[in-house]
Structure 1
Amino acid sequence: MAIRVVTGIVGIALAAFIIQTGGVVYSAAVLLLMLIGWHEYAKAFSSFGKPLAYFSGMLAMLSFWACAWKGNADEFMALSTFWILWTLLQAVFFHRSFSVEQACYSVAGIVYLGFSFSHLILLRFFDTGEMMSTPVGNMDAGCAWLWIALIGTWASDSFAYFAGCTMGHVKLCEAISPKKTVEGLIGGVVGTMASVAALGYALSLPIVYMAVLGFFIALVATVGDLVESAMKRYTGIKDSGNIIPGHGGVWDRFDSVLFVVPFVYYFVQVFTFLNR
């Protein structure tokens, strides 16, 4: 537990530095997370006896990152189409050693990890043309919304954990994640709504909008956690890696974020449109 706490504190401090610095430092950090996440995903299926299109996936991550960094939707669509079709075609060209099943697992991982991690770039550099006033000084809108997404995810995880430990009895999805409870989910929803609403107040954003966002963040974060749990259970692994002491791998740590950040990104699009 001590290692987990220390790693968590160091991780939060490092994340704060990288997020606030932005620019190339932030983008390079996201690329590293994408590549490690894909490596862990591919390793999980390889241990299951289903080696994936590893190098195609690595190149796909790199190309998605570049498109998100440059903000080019047309190139993103073109490269996404290419890598998906090329991965499927490998089941034809290399059919003796690479099955359709392996191709489908590969495509699923490329879309799941590549698209989701790319939204960490898209959200951080989302530009509304104005700065947001925060208790720690002015901050560009994309940076503020990224913090809302991350803090909301952490709040969901923390409140769900404590509510589940103290009051949890009814299993939420025992076949996939035996420790998750309905009471934990409710605690996570209530805690996240309060946390995100408080952030909204601090940032002078409509509290009702933010409470609604908190409600959905808690649900989406839980779904993201369950999706990774289902994949780990399917492949027979406990943790995706051990790169983060006490926390497992990158995929373990970002399972909820991979769902929450894209959701928040499109919530911001709607929110910005409604408030013009």
Structure 2
Amino acid sequence: MSNLVKRAIFGSLYVGLILAALLLREHLVYMIVFGLLAFLGTWEWSNLVSTHRLFPLRRIFDATAAVYLFWATHEIADKGIAYAAFLVPYAGYLLYILVRSIYSERQAMPTDLAKVIFGQIYVGGFLSIANIFYTDTDTSIILLTIFVSIWANDTGAYLAGSTLGRHKLFPSVSPKKSWEGFVGGLIAAVVATGLLLGWEQCYIGVIISIAATWGDLFESMVKRSVGVKDSGNIIPGHGGILDRIDSLLFTLPFVAFFLWVLYTYQLIHLA
């Protein structure tokens, strides 16, 4: 089976799972799919950045903690701030990591500790922002738009970059990316956003495209620093889960923050 066929088959399966999780509005399906993204994404992050070989049980604990964070924030977003107590066990796990580091004799422990904590925020924390959009039927379309616009951005960037690409966007981090590809992705993301949210809100596609590009560049920088091409190999032809959600992990907080600022401004302006 050629690599192109593999990419098409497994890429379609990935898209199908995401769409099923978002469109079926079944709590169990959503939690399973996004829980897997959190678990596998954190697992791959640990493999990427650790300066020593982690025991599998340690990786399982870290990845499970990210899943728990995702679940806890879903309950808070769905049922209200009264359920914030669900975050206490997660805080306990972070404290355990900190205390454990005190008794480590490895010189690299402070660096590894920072990487583990950052991984929890980067994967588990940023992915959990999806719950803010998903739990409200009025904003769930925004979450769908984020995914579709990221895919449109990737497709537009690839087509424009491969045919018109001349000027490098960030050669020290990702030599294949070009300004022409970035513009192509930007246009595609704006169009996708306009089709889903209405043309009066197509400007959100600009935020999505820029954030998605930054997310991709960030992971490229991390992979380049440790000398690997992909974050993993769980998706044949595509690499790892982080390779699929790197743009998403940047886009979710950027869009959420932008909409919060816009909403706050409107409240103040109308007061």
Aligned partner (choices 117, 133, 139) of residue 107 of structure 1: 117
Q: Tell me what 1:89 maps to.
A: 99
Aligned partner (choices 172, 176, 181) of residue 173 of structure 2: 176
SS in structure 2 opposite 1:172? strand
Aligned partner (choices 193, 200, 215) of residue 196 of structure 1: 193
Q: Tell me what 1:132 maps to.
A: none
CA distance in 2, matches of 1:82, 1:171: 45
Residue-by-residue CA offset, 1:211-248 (whole Å, 9 max, x unaligned): 22111111000000011111111122111112112111
Q: Tell me what 1:16 maps to.
A: 19
CA distance in 2, matches of 1:98, 1:170: 39
Q: Tell me what 1:38 maps to.
A: 42
Q: Offset of 1:169 from its aligned partner?
A: 1.3
TM-score (norm 2): 0.84
SS in structure 2 opposite 1:141? coil
Letter of the 2:152 partner, please give it: A
CA distance in 1, matches of 2:218, 2:90: 22
CA distance in 2, matches of 1:174, 1:198: 33
Letter of the 1:200 partner, please give it: L
Q: Tell me what 1:68 maps to.
A: 73
CA distance in 1, matches of 2:33, 2:164: 38
Against the structure 1 CA distance between its residues 42 and 270, is the aligned structure 2 distance closer, same or farther, given a 3 Å change threshold? same
* Aligned residues: CA RMSD: 2.5
Letter of the 2:40 partner, please give it: I
Letter of the 2:150 partner, please give it: T
Q: Offset of 1:77 from its aligned partner?
A: 6.1
Q: Tell me what 2:5 maps to.
A: 2
Q: Offset of 1:12 from its aligned partner?
A: 2.1
Aligned partner (choices 196, 216, 220) of residue 207 of structure 2: 216
SS in structure 1 opposite 2:177? strand
Against the structure 1 CA distance between its residues 81 and 13, is the aligned structure 2 distance closer, same or farther, given a 3 Å change threshold? closer
Letter of the 1:263 partner, please give it: F
Q: Offset of 1:67 from its aligned partner?
A: 1.4
CA distance in 2, matches of 1:164, 1:25: 36
Q: Offset of 1:181 from its aligned partner?
A: 0.9
CA distance in 1, matches of 2:11, 2:59: 30
**Structure 1 gap ranges (5+):** 128-139, 202-206
Q: Offset of 1:54 from its aligned partner?
A: 2.9
Q: Tell me what 1:228 maps to.
A: 219
CA distance in 2, matches of 1:3, 1:55: 28
Q: Offset of 1:97 from its aligned partner?
A: 7.5
Against the structure 1 CA distance between its residues 147 and 211, is the aligned structure 2 distance closer, same or farther, given a 3 Å change threshold? same
SS in structure 1 opposite 2:203? helix
The 8 Å contact of residues 20 and 143 in structure 1, kept in 2 or not, is answered as no
CA distance in 1, matches of 2:105, 2:22: 43
Number of residue pairs matched? 256
Letter of the 1:28 partner, please give it: I
Q: Tell me what 2:236 maps to.
A: 245
SS in structure 1 opposite 2:175? strand
**Structure 2 gap ranges (5+):** none
The 8 Å contact of residues 10 and 235 in structure 2, kept in 1 or not, is answered as yes
SS in structure 2 opposite 1:180? strand
Letter of the 1:171 partner, please give it: K
Against the structure 1 CA distance between its residues 79 and 182, is the aligned structure 2 distance closer, same or farther, given a 3 Å change threshold? farther
CA distance in 2, matches of 1:199, 1:62: 29
**Residue 25, structure 1, aligned to residue 16, structure 2:** no
